[in-house]
Chains A and B, each alone.
Chain A
Amino acid sequence: MKLYEAKPGYTGTISSIDGDTRFLSRITSIGLTEGCKIEIMQNEKNQPVLLLGRDSLIAVNRKDCERIEVK
């Protein structure tokens, strides 16, 4: 499922990330890569999704969450 569809409390791994070089570079450098374990902390409409990955609280804006698959 897409990252923005995941409910708070959901734990899983990132299965795929898509997008242009710029986006891939940005999302990788914040620590989110394929196979990275994540936990959704908060997901409310009109707000970035808040998740826990690599020991950090990371906010990812909703539009970009469409390019990230989790399972």
Chain B
Amino acid sequence: MKKTIALLGQPNSGKSTLFNGLTGSHQHVGNWPGKTVEKKEGSFTYENEEYAIVDLPGTYSLSANSDEEIITRDYIADGKADLVCILADASQLERSLFMLSDFIGLNVPAVLILNLMDVAEKLGKKIDAKAIENRLGIPVIPFVAADKSYYPKLLETLKKALTEKKLISADMFETYYANETEIPFYAIKELLTDCETDFRSSSWLTIKCIENDKNILNYCKSQLTKENYAALNSLVSNIRRGNLHTGNCKFAMIHDLLKSAVNSSGLKPTLSKFDRIATSRIWGKPLAIGIMLLAFIVSMILAMPLMGIGSAIPALLCEPLYNLLSGIGVPAIITSFVSQLVPNILSFAFSMCSFVMAVTFIFSAMEEIGYMARMAFVFDSLMSKLGLQGKSICAFLMGFGCTIGGAAGTRIIDNWGQRILAIALVWSVPCAATWAVMPTLAQIFFGDSTILVLIAILLFMFIMMAITAKVFGNKLAPKETRVGMIMELPPYHKPKWGHIIRTTLSKGLDIFWRAIKVITVVSVVFWLLSYTNTGNVEDSIIYKVGIFIEPFTKLFGLSWQTFMAFVASAISKEAVLGVLSALYTGSGDVFTATFGTVGTASLSEILPQVISKPEALAFIFACTFNMPCLVALASTHRESHSLKWTVRIALYYTVMALLLSCIVYHIGLVVF
């Protein structure tokens, strides 16, 4: 049977870097059954043997205060892994060994990985891994997760550890708890001897009982006689703030463990000049926004070449493909299908994945450098009002550029529920394409008042976000799980570019295939709906459907043409003008208008004659707050790996956009 290795570590210990480093592209991301927690599994092969690897949710301890913690704890303490890799940040070793100290007492083979050794060395810390290993009794490896050259040694150690099955020598650590006068360690331990399992020692259970861990207490209740449980209960209920006492024991243990093993040059971390500005109440936010703006520009520049290739594809391919196919006598319907569809799908996927790659690249670099944590710090109070972490601000700012980039940017949020919530909110932010199309439309109808329309859109964006946060917030980030910010700000360090580039490429490739899949399906459907063999729009299915539902869409202030353009705006915002032009002027066909680009010059003369001002305003709002685009939908699914939530969010935005259209239309009727 395949051996399973679990990764355990606090956030920022480099767990996901190690996971990616070990598995490469052999990974599967899903959810833990019935829980809104991400499950990352993967595999790797070493010396012809395959190993399964599970990246457990990043938690600070093995308590049971959140779904993440319960999943992590149960997985480890039920012995589901053959080996546990405990990660610690070597640059802040004392603090980050807490996880190890919480693990002690579990009879599961383990390896301690001292990650970020390079950063520790920079800070003048010399760490004697051998000394720690001798004391703990399990393998201890100095490591740099982002550096490939450290992996052979790690793999060798893991293989050996899986056969030797060394456990942490727990006995010597008991004395710390026994010496703590505030807690009756042995009295409780004696009661719990019958509760031991293969993996949970009575000492470990005792510590968890002292910490008033409800799950463990319930477990003990099921194992103990009535009298013994009553005795346990009375002992435990006499302990006040048990966590603090065990915490003291754990840190005393860590302190002694490191005393002779770590040699610090005495260099005390200080706030650098940059950090003073980065975390300042006044300058922190402008700096963050400035840096994001810069990141945005750099992303655009990085994405430009690929986007260029993407947009050039239809011009380069459409005609040759058409000529080729019709030349060899392929039926007209297939020729038209292939020559229009294939280049446009490729073009779409290319342009979309380029921005995602750029954003991934920039965000990974910012995260690696350590700046992201500062951003989280200055925006904490603002974003917590939406139920989100401070760093989610990055995703929103990126959303102004491209919703797909914004959705990809939510990757930095380590809580699954909050990440979905952030994606749902990013959808409210009008993207660059929207900001390009809507002014053009508004100009046609409202002339000099265009700016008012745009301001109204911007203001409504905040309202939309507030409503969305209300609608999804309770489910995705329940009030009782929202905790104030308590986190460490990691020291700045040089990013490992190789690692970042690998991450970016694998992400880009993934979104590329995903985009192609989704766009293909939708394009085929749309193409069939709009296909006519006469070239006359009135022969298409889309026209017949449109006419049929027009009485209904009229309620929302939409004619069948504007309704079709509204539907197209969910595919891409750029499509809106093209579809309007195709439907009202009869120039070009609907399909090319949606997936390609067509001239829209005559729109400004025709539209005001056929669409009233209230209808126009309703239409502008409906399109702006409609589903952003097809690939945004695909990347939402990619980031959330939940079809249920992707569909929910999409439906919510469609309904909201129509509702909004209806409201704006009726307000418009009064105003104009």
Contact = CB atoms under 8 A, between A and B. Distances in A.
B59 to A, nearest CB: 8
Interface string A12-53: 000001100111111111110111100001101111101011
A59 B489 contact: yes
A53 to B, nearest CB: 8
Given A31-B95, A44-B280, A46-B381, A56 B244 contact: no
A5 B490 CA distance: 25
Given A21-B65, A21-B243, A31 B486 contact: no
Contact of B484 (A31, A44, A50, A64): A64
Contact of B251 (A23, A26, A33): A33
Contacts of B380: 47-48, 59, 61
A1 interface: no
Most chain B Cβ neighbours within 10 Å, of A33, A45, A50: A33
B281 A26 contact: no
A56 B281 contact: no
Most chain A Cβ neighbours within 10 Å, of B102, B268, B270, B377: B377
A7 interface: no
A50 to B, nearest CB: 6
A55 B485 contact: no
Given A54-B92, A56-B95, A25 B485 contact: no
Contacts of B488: 30-31, 56-59
Contacts of B98: 28-29, 31
Q: Is the interface on chain B under 10, 10 to 19, 20 to 34, or 35 or more residues?
A: 35 or more
B269 A26 contact: no
Interface string B353-395: 0000000000000000000000001101100000000000000
B60 interface: yes
B63 A61 contact: no
Contacts of B487: 30, 58-59
Contacts of B21: none
Contacts of B381: 46-47, 61
Given A31-B95, A55-B94, A25 B281 contact: no
A34 B484 contact: no
A42 B243 contact: no
Interface in B488-520: 488-491
A38 B92 CA distance: 15
B63 A25 contact: yes
Contact of A55 (B95, B211, B248, B489): B95
A24 B483 CA distance: 12
B299 interface: no
A44 B279 CA distance: 10
A29 to B, nearest CB: 4
Contact of B247 (A33, A42, A62): A33
Interface residues of A, number: 38
Nearest to B214: A21
Contacts of A35: 248
Contacts of A45: 281
B243 A28 contact: yes
A42 B486 contact: no
Most chain B Cβ neighbours within 10 Å, of A17, A33, A57, A60: A57
A56 B98 CA distance: 13
A56 B60 contact: no
A34 B240 CA distance: 14
A44 B276 CA distance: 12
A66 to B, nearest CB: 11
Most chain A Cβ neighbours within 10 Å, of B99, B378, B381: B381
Nearest to A33: B247
Given A31-B251, A59-B489, A54 B243 contact: no
A64 to B, nearest CB: 5
A21 B63 CA distance: 10
A26 B486 contact: yes
A54 B98 CA distance: 11
Interface in B87-114: 92-95, 98-99, 102
Contacts of A36: 251
A29 B60 contact: yes
Contacts of B489: 50, 56-59
B279 A42 contact: yes
A17 B276 CA distance: 28
B58 to A, nearest CB: 12
Interface of A: 17-18, 21-31, 33-36, 41-42, 44-48, 50, 52-64
18 contacts: A17-B244, A18-B241, A24-B244, A29-B63, A30-B486, A31-B488, A33-B251, A36-B251, A41-B271, A45-B281, A47-B279, A47-B284, A48-B380, A48-B485, A57-B269, A57-B271, A59-B485, A60-B485
Given A30-B95, A31-B94, 18 more contacts: A24-B243, A25-B211, A26-B486, A29-B61, A33-B244, A33-B248, A35-B248, A41-B270, A42-B271, A46-B381, A47-B281, A47-B381, A48-B484, A53-B95, A55-B264, A56-B269, A57-B269, A57-B489
